[in-house]
Structure 1
Amino acid sequence: MNGVKAKALGCLYQQLKSLRSPARPCSLAACSRKNRNAALHPLWQSPLTIPGGTRQSPINIQWRDSVYDPFLKPLKISYDPTTCLHIWNNGYSFLVEFDDSTDRSIIVGGPLENQYRLKQFHFHWGAINDWGSEHTVDSKFYPAELHLVHWNAVEYPTFEEAVMEGNGLAVIGVFLKLGARHEGLQTLVDALPAVKHKDTVIEFDVFDPSCLLPSCPDYWTYAGSLTTPPLTESVTWIIKKKPIEVDEDQLEAFRMLLFTSDGEEEKRMVDNFRPLQPLMDRTVRSSFQVRHLLDTEAQPQGHAEQVRP
């Protein structure tokens, strides 16, 4: 293992100890981006990069520039609710973690050549509703974004090793928008006060994260990276086109969490997203044909399907 990988792996172990531990200033996108980045958590304040990185995330997805790929397979999702283990406030988000020792909760198909096991899911969100998502679509921000993190257990023996390799991870991204109360999410929201402080963990079992996925099967996909250290370029991103709706109270429950431990000066957990990264020479592929460039609520087009048991 070379020096860069060794250093990144060391950073990874520090970031992923969960394996062993139970007012809008203007309407312009550029102005919003400047203001949303002004109060970021220190983890995202500096322009973190990896040497020679060419596939960093998140990115702005341009409808016009995305390329329809008729050969993209349907994305098949099979989650076992009993594999859910606990919720952990790790100091920059809350992670809902799963038993990934077997193939009980997996995804397969889509742009993936292997099946991938679900490891955890988490969210990124803003201090206000004008921003919060990591990815954007035509420079549009959403209040929050869900990430379901999976790893390639076919080719790699451990999650940590998969993190270091180009095809090691697959992350489903789902945008959240303000609207109706999300009944599936509410079970999780009700548990959040118990993990208000950094490093708190509670048991959280029998939860099916497929309830957090939109029914529309359409998605974009591209080769990218983790958005937290070690920022390894190991992620196949699958960004769902259609957002899910959550209400104001549910978003506020996220914002009541703290970056800080019990006894420390309280710092609200908000704006926990990484700034946008350059697309460079990458292509964003879509599973659907672009017919209405600005209509992310369009009905599914073409052959794509999403299968859940």
Structure 2
Amino acid sequence: MAGGLVALFDDVALIARAAAASIDDVGAAAGKASIKAAGVVVDDTAVTPQYVQGISAEREIPIIRRIAKGSLRNKLLVILPVILLLSEFLPWLLTPILMVGGAYLCYEGAEKVWHRLKGHSAAHGSAEEHPPDEDSLVRGAVRTDLILSAEIMVISLNEVAEESFWSRLAILVVVGVLITVLVYGVVALIVKMDDAGLRLSRSDKKGVAGLGRGLVKGMPKLLTALTVIGTAAMLWVGGHILLVGSDELGLHAVYGLVHHLEEAAHEATGALGGVVGWLVNTVASAIVGLVVGALVVLVLSLTLHRRKAGAQAH
């Protein structure tokens, strides 16, 4: 009896050690996959703050919380099941689906550029007279997040493609939760930094008060800069998705040209080659994104938007 009990304890200990090793493996793989997707995470962080511009201070965190919940649903309930099933049964469909999402990002970025060129001041005045509708803001943010989250999850999936199905599932769940907490935690800190600055500015200590005043003065400029960066990020990520996807589908010309320019810049700039090559690729991707996005905006303006305007006139 005692021997059987000892054997049972040995088996339990062995299972526990195996489980701990598996958890360690999942954590390591999730960390590796998250680092690989870091570029898109930065884009996601830059894009999101623009959705709470013009919103009262007390509503900023609730809106970010709603967007974060939508992002988590995107990753775990929509994207994760789809990409796991597709990777098992129809892996060739992942690239075209991702390219459709990339085209949508290009459209979003190009539309923002178009509205700014048409006249930012008029749009700004209108926004002050009519405060943004929170539900519409959240829906728009979650739609954009769907594309960026899909890119993050597909990049992560590619990093763990050799793992078993259940390991991939566990790793991608960890990645989805980790990145969502990271992105929206940073966004919340950014948008509330002016409130923190206001509190610090009331301090009796001159240095602390000066820091607080600096934060209060600097935050509007930071948010404006993040809006610009977010728009550029949409064009960059969308264009890059289209470039890589077209190459994977056998259309090598544009991707080959960009890759050639990147390699030439890398070789011509010596120690700074890596940075300069990356900048060339980024700018080229953004240009591709702007061109594709502008074409989508033009087509929609001549068709869907014109039809809507005609229906409203009647």
TM-score of the two chains, using structure 2 as the length reference:
0.23
- Relative to total residues, which structure has the larger strand share, 1 or 2? 1
Give the number of the structure whose alpha-carbon radius of gyration is greater. 2
Greater percentage in helix: 2
TM-score by length of 1: 0.23
